Amino acid sequence: MRALLLLPLTAALLSVGCGQKEDAAAPTTATPAPAAEPAKRELNVYNWSDYISEDAIAKFEEESNVKVTYDVFDSNEVLEAKLMAGNTGYDIVVPSLSFLGRQIQAGVFQPIDKARLKNYGNLDPQLMERIAQIDAD
C-alpha cells in the first residue's frame, strides 16, 4: 500500500518541479488553512478470539492514529486454511506454536526485520527460545 501511495506523491512533486517559473505574487493577508490531520494508517490483525480487548484496541487506535481491523479465528485449522489460501491481507497473524513450523515451511509469513524493531530485545526470552527451536531466523 505504501508503494501505491508513493507513486502519486512522486508524480505530484515532479510536476511541481517541472512547471514554468511564475512572477512572485503580491503577499496576501488570507488566513492560512488549518493543518490537515495526518492520514490514518491501517493495521490488519488476525488473532485468537479474546486475546486483545476491544478497549485495548480502541486505546491503541487513539494513541497511534492507526485504524485496526481485528479479525479472529477459533482453531488452528481455520487459521491454517486461510493462510494457505494466500493473500490474506493481514499485517499481523498470531499462530499457535504447534502449527507455526509447517506454516513457516509453506512460506506463508514474511521475514521480520528485527533491526527495525527497537524493542525486540524486550520480548520474553523463554518464548523466543521456544520460537527459535522452530524458526532460528
Instruction: Judge whether 87 lies within some domain.
Output: yes
Instruction: Judge whether 29 lies within some domain.
Output: no
Report whether 1 contacts 43 (CB < 8 A): no
Instruction: Judge whether 107 lies within some domain.
Output: yes
Q: Which domain holds residue 84?
A: 39-134
Transcribe 33-88 into DSSP letters.
PPPPPPPPEEEEEEEETTSS-HHHHHHHHHHHTEEEEEEEESSHHHHHHHHHH---
Kind of pairing between the strands at 66-73 and 92-93: unpaired
Whether residue 12 is predicted with pLDDT greater than 50 in this model: the reply is no
Instruction: Judge whether 33 lies within some domain.
Output: no
Per-residue confidence (pLDDT) for residue 45, from 0 to 100? 97
Among 77, 114, 112, 110, which Cα is nearest to 95's? Answer: 77
- Tens of pLDDT, residue by residue over 90-101, are 999 999 988 999
- Tens of pLDDT, residue by residue over 2-11, are 333 333 333 3
User: Does the reported pTM lie above 0.75?
Assistant: no
Q: How far apart are CA 91 and CA 61, in angstroms?
A: 15
Number of domains making up the chain: 1
Instruction: Judge whether 94 lies within some domain.
Output: yes
CB within 8 A of 131, min separation 6: which ones? 97, 100
CATH number at residue 95: 3.40.190.10
